[in-house]
Chain A
Amino acid sequence: MPSKETLDPDEEIIEGPEARFQILPRAAEQLRSISLRENDPKVALRISVESGGCHGYQYKMELTNIDEGAGDYHFSSPTIAPSNVLIDPVSLALLKGSTLDFTTELIGSSFRVTDNPQAAGGCGCGVSWEAKL
């Protein structure tokens, strides 16, 4: 959880049961295998929300290091380690309660954010989504 000092004045700290983010076992396994492959236990997946796409919001994911995560929320699977996920406070407001999945499809495998309680409809290509109000 970020400390009060690292927050911008107009950001809010999300606490307690609100600050929930679920990592499915197969997503955690994938994070662990990335970590083993890179030989670095500090590897972390950063998930953020950006504006854009035909429905207003889209997810952005990138690999980073937990040392880069000052001021971010740090999530990990309780059973599969290392499985680090970093979410910044602004994005968590739009991501809380969601689930991180890793799906394997014919066209490729990828991490996906699913069951986002904040999301309403999505666009045809599945990239962008709209927030419920």
Chain B
Amino acid sequence: MRRLSFPLSCGICQPRSYASHTCIRRGNSSTAKPGPRYSPVPHRAVVSITGTEPNLSTYLNGLLATKVSPAEEKYKGFYSTFLNRYGRILYDVFFHPHPTEPGYLVEFDPRSIPRSTPAHHHDPFPELPVLLKRFVLRSKVKVKDVSDEWRVFAVWGGETEEKDDRKREVSFQEWTWNPRSNTIEPKWRDGKVLDNDIDDTVTKGIGTGQWDRRVFGMGRRILWPVSEEAVLPAEYQFVGKEEYNIHRIANGVPEGAFDNADALPMERNIEMMGGIDFRKGCYVGQELTVRTYYTGIIRKRVFPISLVPRAGTSSVVPPHASIKATRTPKGVEIAERFLTISKRARARREAAGQDSSYIKTRGTVLSRMGDTALGVLRLDHVDLYEQGEMALSVEGDDGDVWDVEVKRPVWWPKRPVSEVGPSLPQ
């Protein structure tokens, strides 16, 4: 049996170690193991979608970016995405089996975030319950906003969670690369995707939930009725929602409107986390997504990053700050294509003693907790950064600067040598 190999030491400590970093693979700090804990998940709303089969799966298949099989004996939980017709993310969601009715409880981020893409790339941002109701028409499906009835919790770091991770390591076979477009999907042994059912002894028939299988180490999601106290075994410590965010960011998981709204799903690692199926039939946004899969190319992805303030920096990183890439002294050979300005303009700037090393595209800082954050970065920039030829930084007001350190997770897929496709665009 082939198993994934994980180094004993924390792999991301090298080569660019930073004092208080968090180990990506285990989801715990290298200095102290936080142990089993659970916390509320911030910015969550819940909508119930109920109905009998095959109505419900037919209805959902027209809207979701993953395939929904008609439920046989019981409904199964899963992670998925609603896209708009331009193939951009509206909502990244968890479908949990409804504890009492046939159907699902769907958790999503209801916030509406100001968006940066041009107006012709999006329509007015519909609230999820409104969007869902609009497509019910004559289907025998009921949609109801039940946000005030449910609370969403994340549970991680316990023995049960580690056991599930091991189960998943065995089940995971490899990453499937599309060498043409750079899309990456997990491939499961014998094509069998592990089901996400959690033990009923935890939810006791009043709650619901599932294993969060977006990446290794995320643990469980549990929905608990507002009227009931959430009860977990005594060894689980209740912590604030900030802890969940730190856990999620360290594991490289973008989630909710602030990270994902209006983005292309592959630029948010959604297909790596199982939220896109490139082989299913028509759904809203499929045209663009599948075109990208076959003829496009993915240039950017989300990485966990550290923001290290330079001396004198006192403010906080502005939301959605852009990440600037510059040549390092070692990076003088970086191809012309990365540089914003022409050769002549650069010579002029150099003669005048000005900075001449601007790089074309910028990245973006997403969710941030203290000095750890998620960043959308160009893959070729990350390669050059790891070779020491490019430096990444964020500029704030009043000349504040943070150096960006990329923490490539240990589980991050490595492109097989046999499948090296075309190099990134010139």
User: Interface on A for B, CB 8 Å cutoff?
Assistant: 48-57, 88, 90-91, 120-121, 123-124, 128, 130-131, 133
**What is the number of residues of chain B that contact chain A, defined by CB distance less than 8 Å?**
19
A122, closest chain B residue (CB) = B85
If A51-B63, A123-B287, A133-B124 touch, whether A56 touches B85 (CB-CB below 8 Å) is yes
In the bound complex, what is the Cα–Cα distance between A91 and B135 (angstroms)? 11
CB neighbours (8 Å) of B284 from chain A are 54-56, 130
Please tell me which one of the listed residues B134, B136, B282, B283 contacts residue A131 in the complex, with CB atoms under 8 A apart.
Answer: B134
CB distance from A11 to the nearest CB of B (A): 10
A50, closest chain B residue (CB) = B137
| Beta-carbon contact of A51 and B85 below 8 Å | no
In the bound complex, what is the Cα–Cα distance between A133 and B124 (angstroms)? 8
| Beta-carbon contact of A133 and B138 below 8 Å | no
B134, closest chain A residue (CB) = A131
| Beta-carbon contact of B85 and A121 below 8 Å | yes
Instruction: Judge whether B102 is part of the interface by a CB distance below 8 angstroms.
Output: no
CB neighbours (8 Å) of B211 from chain A are none
| Beta-carbon contact of A53 and B62 below 8 Å | yes
If A53-B62, A56-B85 touch, whether A48 touches B138 (CB-CB below 8 Å) is yes
23 contacts between A and B (CB under 8 A): A51-B59, A51-B62, A51-B135, A51-B137, A52-B282, A53-B62, A54-B85, A55-B85, A55-B284, A56-B62, A56-B284, A57-B135, A88-B138, A90-B137, A91-B137, A91-B138, A123-B85, A123-B287, A128-B282, A130-B85, A130-B123, A133-B123, A133-B126
Instruction: Judge whether B286 is part of the interface by a CB distance below 8 angstroms.
Output: yes
Instruction: Judge whether B110 is part of the interface by a CB distance below 8 angstroms.
Output: no
Instruction: Judge whether B139 is part of the interface by a CB distance below 8 angstroms.
Output: yes
User: Interface on B for A, CB 8 Å cutoff?
Assistant: 59, 62-63, 85, 123-124, 126, 134-139, 282-287
CB distance from A13 to the nearest CB of B (A): 16
In the bound complex, what is the Cα–Cα distance between A91 and B126 (angstroms)? 21
CB neighbours (8 Å) of B135 from chain A are 51, 56-57
* Best-surrounded residue of B134, B135, B138, B287 (most CB of chain A within 10 A): B138
In the bound complex, what is the Cα–Cα distance between A48 and B139 (angstroms)? 12
Please tell me which one of the listed residues B59, B136, B287 contacts residue A54 in the complex, with CB atoms under 8 A apart.
Answer: B287
B289, closest chain A residue (CB) = A54
* Best-surrounded residue of A49, A52, A91, A123 (most CB of chain B within 10 A): A52
In the bound complex, what is the Cα–Cα distance between A115 and B85 (angstroms)? 20
CB distance from B283 to the nearest CB of A (A): 7
Closest 8 CB pairs of A and B: A51-B135, A52-B62, A54-B286, A54-B287, A54-B282, A51-B62, A53-B282, A56-B284
In the bound complex, what is the Cα–Cα distance between A55 and B83 (angstroms)? 10
CB neighbours (8 Å) of A53 from chain B are 62, 282
B58, closest chain A residue (CB) = A52
In the bound complex, what is the Cα–Cα distance between A48 and B138 (angstroms)? 10
If A51-B62, A52-B62 touch, whether A90 touches B285 (CB-CB below 8 Å) is no
CB distance from B300 to the nearest CB of A (A): 24
If A133-B123, A133-B124 touch, whether A51 touches B139 (CB-CB below 8 Å) is yes
CB distance from A69 to the nearest CB of B (A): 15
CB neighbours (8 Å) of B63 from chain A are 51, 56
CB distance from B24 to the nearest CB of A (A): 36
CB neighbours (8 Å) of B136 from chain A are 51
A130, closest chain B residue (CB) = B85
| Beta-carbon contact of A49 and B137 below 8 Å | yes
CB neighbours (8 Å) of B124 from chain A are 133
Sample of 7 more A-B contacts, CB < 8 Å, known A54-B283, A56-B284, A91-B137: A48-B138, A51-B139, A56-B135, A121-B85, A128-B282, A130-B85, A130-B284
In the bound complex, what is the Cα–Cα distance between A51 and B134 (angstroms)? 9
